[in-house]
Amino acid sequence: MGTATQTQYSWKFAAHGYRLTPNGEEVLRSLENASEAIDNILSRLHGDIVDVDELVIQAALSGQLGSVPTTTRGLEELEGPTFLTAPTSQVQVLRDITGNSTCTGTYDNFVTLLRNRYATIRKIVAGTIIQTDISDIEKIAPNVEFSIIGMVMERHQSKAGNLVVSIEDLTGMEKVIVMKSSDAFSNAETILTDEVLGMVCSKGRKGGTFVRRIIRPDVPHMKPVVGQGAAAAISDLHVGSNTFVSGAWDQFLAWVNGELEDGGLSEKLKYVVIAGDLVDGVGVYPGQEAELEIRDIYEQYERVGEYLKEIPDSIQVVISPGNHDFVRQAEPQPSLRSELQDIIGKRPNYTYVGSPARLMIGGIEWILYHGRSLDEIMMKIPGATYAKPAEAMVELLRRRHLSPIYGTRAGVAPEAEDYLMIDRPPAVIHSGHVHTVGFCRYREVTLINSGAWQSQTEFQKKMNLQPTPGIVPYLDMETMKIRRLIFA
């Protein structure tokens, strides 16, 4: 029988981004050489597995990990490249609010939404806390080190420069202190209201609760995955604006149709994925009318249809909305309504989805989200900047939520479940909204912000925002490498 303690078992898996379940613990304790078995299991785990239970352990040890249900196991072992599903040129919608909205805007709806968010993220955080007991706030005991998991209600800096955070769980609220001299302080400076996180704490001699460590629900380290074909990630066309860069768009269409020399890139193109703001809209902000070339919302969508029909039928086009589109502004946003789809066109190669939407594209999972919450991240996170939008997207991923700050510019529709949670990490997250191109890879999740097709507006000039129009991130899903294609 193995001699390792339960904490040592759990720690080995937690160090690699996995959570060992109680029945998985029992299986390991029954083995003669548990340490060797753990090394063997860890070498075979892959993808977005989070819970390592009895079934996963038995499958790993027998070399049959492919038999684990997809609810537990995110990847399939195939000869050659690793795909999330069998490669297909079709787009599969996995999760989308469209046609599934049940909220009526009542108080109970909001309570249900926030409790759903708290419960889901709490479970993720709890799986990474192994060195201390997790305590309900109402049961915090003196003179011991403990952990709490809660939703941040408020934070402020004291006169001494320490950070005071009010955190709440289902049993009560506690004010905790992060000392300026603490190792946790730099992490605490990025705390956002409404995010769910864990804290390792201790009681001071005079009764204060002091934070020693902050634990976020961060994504585990993922095994790299590959897919099939290539995708052009675009957003923020703002058709109808007098700053729409039509020349760059014409060049893009020429490339999509194989009319430009590009070393074979367009031949691999299978998908054009649009992350919202197809049109500039009407009445979106004061004085907008002076900046419109097309002042009728329906005519704007007619022009979008004319532009998109130039994309060959062989290329799948995914279309989601943004805050300038004629759709519900509260998130999650449903897809463009049928009337607008009719205007743009309902071609067989078009897939209309809401924002956010979880999709299977080229055999790997994507989350498509317009990105309105990024404005708040830029304002609240020290060092976040519009010039580096992908780094701001990392902050969303670390919190496992696409819009962690509740009730700000990005209004929230109180659905029964929180569609903005990143409960299962995808291979790709694609956003737009901020009009600057950026991409990075964080723990093997590819993050893309796709810029815009609108040059600098008067508002952006006043805010000193420099957009990067006419630049397209091109993702080769067979290698997961990204390059910028410049059409401006």
Structural domain boundaries in the chain: 6-67, 137-215, 230-486
So what's the pLDDT on residue 64? 66
Question: How far apart are the two ends of the chain, measured CA to CA in Å?
Answer: 66
So what's the pLDDT on residue 84? 43
Across the range 451-468, mean pLDDT stands at 88
Question: Nearest-CA neighbor of 417 among 135, 116, 3, 156?
Answer: 116
The architecture in CATH of the region 230-486 reads 4-Layer Sandwich (3.60)
Work out the percent of the chain whose per-residue pLDDT is above 90: 67
How does pLDDT run across 265-297, given as a tens digit for each residue? 999 999 999 999 999 999 888 888 899 999 999
Per CATH, domain 6-67 is 1.10.8: yes
Q: Please report which confidence band the pLDDT of residue 423 belongs to, taking 50, 70 and 90 as the band edges.
A: very high
Helix, strand and coil content of the chain, in percent to the nearest 5, comes to: 25, 25, 50
CATH number for the domain whose boundaries are 137-215: 2.40.50.140
DSSP H stretches of helix in 323-470: 338-344, 374-380, 389-398, 458-462
So what's the pLDDT on residue 458? 85
So what's the pLDDT on residue 482? 95
Select the more confidently predicted residue: 17 or 103: 103
Q: With 90 as the cut, is the pLDDT of residue 1 above it?
A: no
Cβ neighbours, 10 Å, residue 406: 18
Q: With 80 as the cut, is the pLDDT of residue 68 above it?
A: no
Report how far residue 122's alpha carbon sits from residue 80's, in angstroms, rounded to the nearest whole number: 37
CA 72 to mean position of chain CA atoms: 20
CA 130 to mean position of chain CA atoms: 26
Q: Please report which confidence band the pLDDT of residue 66 belongs to, taking 50, 70 and 90 as the band edges.
A: low
pTM over 0.95: no
* Spatial contact of 217 and 278, defined as CB atoms under 8 Å apart: no
